[in-house]
Amino acid sequence: MTTPASAPVSVRQFTILVFLYTVGTTILVIPAGLAAVAKQDAWIASLLGLLFNLAAVFFYLRFSRSFPDMTLAQYYERVYGRWLGKLFTLSFVFFSFIGAATVLFYLGNFINTQVMPKTPIQAISILFILIVAMGLRLGLEAIAKAGEILFPWIVLLFFILIACLLPQVEVHKLLPMFEADVSSLLKGAVSVTGTSALPFIVFLMFYPAFVANRKKAGRGFVAGTIAGGLFIAAITFLSVAVLGADISERQMYPSFSLAKRINIGNFFARVEILIAAIWFITVYFKILFYLYGCVAGLAQLLGIGDYRALVLPMGMILVVYSQVVYPNVVYAAEFDRTVWIPYILTYGLVIPIATWAVGRLRHRMRGKPTATSGDVGE
């Protein structure tokens, strides 16, 4: 498969992409789930989730040292052989496609229910996927530069949001603290990691092979994860401290409802578009990299030299499937609660750990080192 960018992604750009992907859909949907399991201690569960995120990232860094000049799909074939490796790649393509479809559903549902209720969800999905396809066809270099341009605006909007909501924080809504039991906190933390960190498996389709300065890029991976995790924790804290745990739990998009509370002197109000703008930008990168994992893996599977030829056809199929992946929001909530965590644990942790173990065993049997080049993520 040809390199998807004319130049490697810089460390700064990669760090920003990690941050954007971490935030993704998480800031809109995860506060409700955390409030449901940990109540007023939801923000504690989000911080614990950050620790789990870092553990997952450190494993990915260790894992990626085994194939510094290959993509994940190429490494599957190296470890398991041609045919079994292709089967694992096909499974990864399926995972990436399903991930992109679920995120596209959330995007369409959010816009259709909260912003433009008279606009057909199909039109929203088509317009958004065309922009995603445009970015993918331009390549990773253009995507990374777009992330650099948009990142300061996300930070600015976030700090405006924080500054406007801090006066509305009610400490009593956080009390009593530390009431949630350990199992509830762990359950909430795992949901954070399953939504924001384990999907990083799709990054291994271009990291570290197409990222400059691999050693520093590993540090950027960690820095972007920490920044994104703190961003999520701050939104969760404000959701509980301003709305309360009960209201946060009942809202499908509590952070959007949070932004509706901003009203300064009856002049600066109705600025919930702030949180919507943050989400539109970050969810764009979430869908983009899910779809990138899908088309890049499929190109490797079929022996196609350049994934770009697959972008538009797969994008159109994705639009159709996003309309049926979740029949309704009740099904989506139940799927996220009961199916998504074991699903993402399988593809984001179990299969990589098994692949890493098999790869090490095969190298030892051949009397070779476990990595083909120097450190990647230390």
CA distance 210 to 199: 19
Residue 371 lies inside a defined structural domain of this protein: no
For residues 208 and 3, the answer to whether their CB atoms sit within 8 Å is: no
Report the pLDDT value the prediction gives residue 378, as an integer from 0 to 100: 39
CA distance 53 to 176: 27
User: In the structure encoding, which two tokens stand for residue 84, read together?
Assistant: 């079994």
* Domains: count for the chain: 1
Report the pLDDT value the prediction gives residue 97, as an integer from 0 to 100: 96
The predicted model scores a pTM of 0.91
**Got the DSSP string for 127-142?**
HHHHHHHHHHHH-HHH
Report the pLDDT value the prediction gives residue 276, as an integer from 0 to 100: 80
Q: How far is CA 210 from CA 205, 229, 361, in A?
A: 9, 25, 26
CA distance 207 to 217: 9
> Domain range for residue 75?
11-349
Residue 3 lies inside a defined structural domain of this protein: no
For residues 46 and 232, the answer to whether their CB atoms sit within 8 Å is: yes
CA distance 134 to 139: 9
Report the pLDDT value the prediction gives residue 8, as an integer from 0 to 100: 85
Residue 79 lies inside a defined structural domain of this protein: yes
The amino acid occupying position 165 is: L
Residue 234 lies inside a defined structural domain of this protein: yes
Residue 367 lies inside a defined structural domain of this protein: no
Taking the chain (378 residues) in runs of 10, the rounded mean pLDDT of each run is 62 95 85 90 94 96 91 93 93 96 92 87 93 93 93 89 86 88 93 93 93 89 95 92 90 81 69 78 94 95 90 95 89 88 95 93 70 42
Q: Where are the alpha helices (DSSP H) in the chain?
A: 11-23, 26-38, 42-64, 72-80, 82-110, 121-138, 140-165, 182-196, 214-238, 245-250, 254-260, 273-302, 308-322, 329-338, 340-345, 351-366
Report the pLDDT value the prediction gives residue 269, as an integer from 0 to 100: 64
Residue 57 lies inside a defined structural domain of this protein: yes
Residue 203 lies inside a defined structural domain of this protein: yes
Q: What DSSP character marks residue 270?
A: -
Here the CATH number for the domain that contains residue 274 is 1.20.1740.10
Residue 196 lies inside a defined structural domain of this protein: yes
